[in-house]
Structure 1
């Protein structure tokens, strides 16, 4: 049975950190306040992680990662949809992200590439946006209606 739960325990946070590092994704600030990560499981088996940063109508999608041997089975799409449901229920109206490798994946899920200069201040001021992701990363956004 596949289900999503918040990352709560040290071993889950360590597994998240390891998966992100292996994929060359930012890990420096994942344990700071204002970030929430979700874990997708099939029984006891971890499938992937996804996170969100911020509160209010604009939030930053953080570090979607599917474990390598679980890719290609729709798990990533399911994980993003679960995060969207989670943030929408908490008042999020727009979800933003930066990507260097997954533009086509997120475009299939309704995210659109935008000019980085159009990002709301709350997103542009985030550490991921300002420091951790390269300037070459594609900025994308999805508006919920």
Structure 2
């Protein structure tokens, strides 16, 4: 689904389930009135299960998992899953680990990427360009 609760293909959106499925939990422990359960899965799109995963269903029916929807960044109105960023950063052998965060900036959001380089490497213009 997109943010308006409409089904989309060929673009990232929220993974939802329109019908019950076998592994769906039926309740939460110590949630006698079911309010926590409903808030966790049915609050975003009333009556529709939203698990919290951000995916793209391709034109051929394949699924690209973008990451958690609560880990989705939205700079300039373009939704980007952090997994999408990490897939690229992980291809840079000098980077040991990284984290991408959204920062509210001048009425919008920008993506800030923190990286930790492997021992023996320093950040230079060549590495920045990659």
TM-score, normalization by structure 2: 0.22
User: RCO (CA 8 Å, sep 6+): is it higher in 1 or 2?
Assistant: 1
Greater helix content: 1
Larger Rg: 2
